[in-house]
Structure formats: C-alpha cells, structure tokens
Amino acid sequence: YQDKEEVVLWMNTVGPYHNRQETYKYFSLPFCVGSKKSISHYHETLGEALQGVELEFSGLDIKFKDDVMQTTYCEIDLDKGRRDAFVYAIKNHYWYQMYIDDLPIWGIVGEADENGEDYYLWTYKKLEIGYNGNRIVDVNLTSEGKVKLVPNTKIQMSYSVKWKKSDVKFEDRFDKYLDPSFFQHRIHWFSIFNSFMMVIFLVGLVSMILMRTLRKDYARYSKEEEMDDMDRDLGDEYGWKQVHGDVFRPSSHPLIFSSLIGSGCQIFAVSLIVIVVAMIEDLYTERGSMLSTAIFVYAATSPVNGYFGGSLYARQGGRRWIKQMFIGAFLIPAMVCGTAFFINFIAIYYHASRAIPFGTMVAVCCICFFVILPLNLVGTILGRNLSGQPNFPCRVNAVPRPIPEKKWFMEPAVIVCLGGILPFGSIFIEMYFIFTSFWAYKIYYVYGFMMLVLVILCIVTVCVTIVCTYFLLNAEDYRWQWTSFLSAASTAIYVYMYSFYYYFFKTKMYGLFQTSFYFGYMAVFSTALGIMCGAIGYMGTSAFVRKIYTNVKID
C-alpha cells in the first residue's frame, strides 16, 4: 500500500458460534452500511464459492496509515422487527467475521445481561492495525459502546482506526491464528509414537507368521511331492495350496470391484499430493485455497483411476470396459455432489451463505465431464494395453471348488468386521485433530503429522488384510478379493461411529442445517477413507497372494 491508499474492510458472514457452517450474509442482520459507496469489485474463487464466503463492502472509509478518531458512520432505526432480529442473534451467540487485506477479524454481535432480560448491542468497532513497511501485518478489533436494545430508538454505529508500527514479518502474519499448544500437544506426539510402535509390532507379527508358517507349508508340500501316490491318497491335504485352481478366479461383480479399486487408488494419490503441497505451501493463508487445490489435484489424477480400474477389469476378463470407465470416473464425484445437492436444499431454505450458487454447480459439472472423464479414458486405455493381460501364476480350474464348512470366526463377514479395528486405532487421535480444525475454529497446519499418519495407516492396513487373507485361504475359501477390500474398508464404519461420539460429546452443534451438514459430509469423508483403505489393502494382498502361489510347485 502507498500512504493514504484505500484499505477495504470486507464484511463476510455472521452466524451462531457453535455452528461453524451455519453462516449468513453479514447484512442479513439489520446492520447499517457506511456512507462510502464506490468500490472496486471483488472476484471470488471456486473454493470460496463452495465454502460460502460472501464478501460485502462495509462502507467504512479507511486509508493506509491514516488514523481515524471515533466517527459515527450510520445509524440503525430500531423498530420492533429489527430489535427481534438482534435479540435472536444475541441469544444464539451470533458473531461475525470481517477481512482486512485477507486477514480475518472476528467480533461478537452483542450480549445479554445476567438474568437474560435486557439485550445490548456493541456499537463501536475499534480497529488497531499494525503495519510493517508498506504492508499490513496485524489487525485487532475491540468491540465497545454497549447500547441497550429498546424498540423505536435510533442506534448510532461508530468506528475508529489506529495505525501502529509492528515488527511482525509479512510472511509470519498468520502465525497468531495458529494454535501450537493444541496441535503440538504431548498427546499428539504420543499418539504418533504409539501408532508407530503398533506398526513395528504388526510388521514383525506378519513377517513372523508368513516366514514360519509358509516355510512349514512349503516343506510339507514339497515332502508330499516325494511320497508315492498311495501315501498321498491317505495323507491329509488341506490349507491354502488346495485352492490354487480357484484363487485367481475373477471376483464377483468385477465391474463395481474394479471401479472401487481405481477410485481408491486415485483418492490415495490425491491425499498424498495435497498433503505434500500443504507441507510446502501454507495453504491456510488464503480463503478456500485448500478446497481449490484438492479439486484441481483430483481432476489431474484421474488417469490413475482409469489405469488401475481399467487394467484390473481387463485382467478379470471384463468385456464392458466403457461402462466400467464411466462408473469409475463418476463414483466419487456423484457421491460428493449428491450429498452437496441434498444439503444445498436445506441451505437455500435457511437462506444460508453456504448455499452453492448455480454457476458454481455448473463449473463443477464441467470439470467432471470435460476434465475428469477424458483423463480417465486415457488412463483406462493405457491400463488395458499395458497391464490388462491375465498373467496369473496358476491356471484357473473350469469348475469352481466347493467351499468347505469352517468355524464361525473364519467367515468372511466376521473377518471384514474385525479388519477395520487396528487401522482405525492407528488414526483415531489424528481424526480428533482433523475434525476439530474442520468443525471448530482451529486452523490445521501440522501436515507433517498427517503425512506420518497416512503412511502408518497404509502399513497397518496392508498388514491386517494380509493376515486376514492368509487365514481365509487356509480355511480353503478363495473369495479373497472382496474380503481383502472390505476388511480394510470397514475402517470407515468405525470412523463414522467415532464421528457420532464427537458430535454429541465434543461439540455443541444444534439445528437441522448444521446437523445434516455434519453427518452428510462426515458420511462422504468416511466413505472416501474406506474406499482408499480398501484399495490399499487389496493392492497389498494381491501382491502377497501372487507371491505365495508363485513359489509353490503345482503339477
């Protein structure tokens, strides 16, 4: 800024303190606007439009390094309707957000006295702005001038601006909004350490099971080779070698299965790239930049989805590959957009600023049809041609083998339910921090932690599904594809159950809008997490199954 240059105070939204997502336009409350009218237009980004940012000019005349003494900028004619609106806002702890030079400022609308009979409005905004050289680095708002709300009176709204020199560097001006005592708490470090020990234990367990039992199995199977036919007929043949003719049989519903695996691989790629970008760039300094980045990366990684989904479908002998490509491409977008569309109706009914404008919806649909779909097609064609040939180590028998009776805890349904417990255990403390930054007023900035947790989650998921699959194959049940996917994906069920606990015990949300917003988007988050874990589990297990059947001698 040059000296005396115009500094714009933008009014964003107002809403109840406990419901972070329930926000309304600032001037939906009967506040009055300052006298200054002419203003250069504000352009919003896609991320801001989706997150319900509604910037409106406050009309306050602020110039760089130009102090303003207490000045009345307008007055509110308080009739009964307007008084009721303010009383309702004060009862529900409404507060508003403003921006100066992209720095957020929060203020409370008013307060009630102890016995809740009289209500007071704060009428005087006292701004203190810190500057370093020619840049704004710090903004503080003090609300003063308590005026009792009496019908049919006039209330004068005033403001003052004081400029002071500050030593804060422009790059560090967001540091005061971060909360290191919350995010870098000992609990956080301890939980990472705890999960890490669990990983070491699990990897040790898996390698021990596999080394010892597989070596025994191999020894037993090669000893059987040397016996003559008479002994072999009497010998007890059991275990995973028995199903070698069925283990590479295509899964049931290969179309849906390969679409899920493709989508899971894409979600994993998106998570990895977005976390790396967030670690390098401070995405929290710009409104809506996190969401814009995620949408861009999701569209750009579509070939990953096509490649893994298309090649798996081709290996399983699928014929309708174009249908598979469409389902794979639109599985996640349809789920997210469907939920958003449903919640949008409630937002429109409430006149909330979260209601997504029609233009933004069209933009998102265009991204789906003109970016995601063609890139997915490219990935699918590459996948079908590069790794679409079935090259299994064992032949598949013409007739499926009957699956013998087994103990109840070896049934796929039980394995699926138990499979998600350990992966959930390794991430649930991180879930608490992520939920708090999304549903409460904390800025999440410790992406290094998130990266570690993602790595730990992958290792734990793969280990757990390999052990589950080994038990399943030993019980001579060859339906391992869906079991490995679902036993990893069942993490999602536990995360969603945890979100219920979080809602009732950690937040004070209320009202239809906030509740449907919370549970709707939590369902989307859990499902996406489940599909990602399932794909990771399946990929690891698939490599393991190929490995053990490559090493065994089969006539």
Task: Give me the pLDDT at residue 524, please.
Answer: 96
In this prediction, residue 272 has a pLDDT band, given cuts at 50, 70 and 90, of: very high
Query: Measured between alpha carbons, how far is 428 from 423 in angstroms, rounded to an integer?
Result: 9
One DSSP character per residue, 70-82 reads EEEEEEEEE-HHH
CB burial class (10 A; 0-12, 13-18, 19+) of residue 455?
middle
In this prediction, residue 231 has a pLDDT band, given cuts at 50, 70 and 90, of: low
Q: How big is the chain, counted in residues?
A: 555
Give me the helices (H) in 368-411, please.
Answer: 373-387
Q: What is the pTM of this model?
A: 0.89
460 has a pLDDT exceeding 90: yes
Query: Measured between alpha carbons, how far is 290 from 492 in angstroms, rounded to an integer?
Result: 23
232 has a pLDDT exceeding 70: no
Counting residues of the chain whose pLDDT is more than 70, the rounded percentage is: 96
235 has a pLDDT exceeding 70: no
Q: What is the pLDDT of residues 296-352, one digit of tens each?
A: 999 999 999 999 999 999 999 888 999 999 999 999 999 999 999 999 999 999 888
400 is written with which tokens? Answer: 């499926």
Q: What is the mean pLDDT of the chain?
A: 89
* Residue 57 falls in which region: left (phi positive, over 0), alpha (psi -120 to 50) or beta: beta
Residue 135's contacts (CB-CB under 8 Å, 6 or more residues apart) are 1, 170
Task: Give me the pLDDT at residue 552, please.
Answer: 73
Please name the helix (run of DSSP H) or strand (run of DSSP E) that holds residue 125, with its range, or none. strand 119-132
Q: What is the pLDDT of residues 160-195, one digit of tens each?
A: 999 999 998 988 888 888 888 888 788 888 888 888
* Residue 130 falls in which region: left (phi positive, over 0), alpha (psi -120 to 50) or beta: beta
Q: What is the pLDDT of residues 206-225, one digit of tens each?
A: 888 778 877 887 777 777 76
Task: Give me the pLDDT at residue 554, please.
Answer: 63
209 is written with which tokens? Answer: 């099971």
In this prediction, residue 228 has a pLDDT band, given cuts at 50, 70 and 90, of: low
Query: Measured between alpha carbons, how far is 142 from 138 in angstroms, rounded to an integer?
Result: 14
Work out the average pLDDT over 270-293: 89
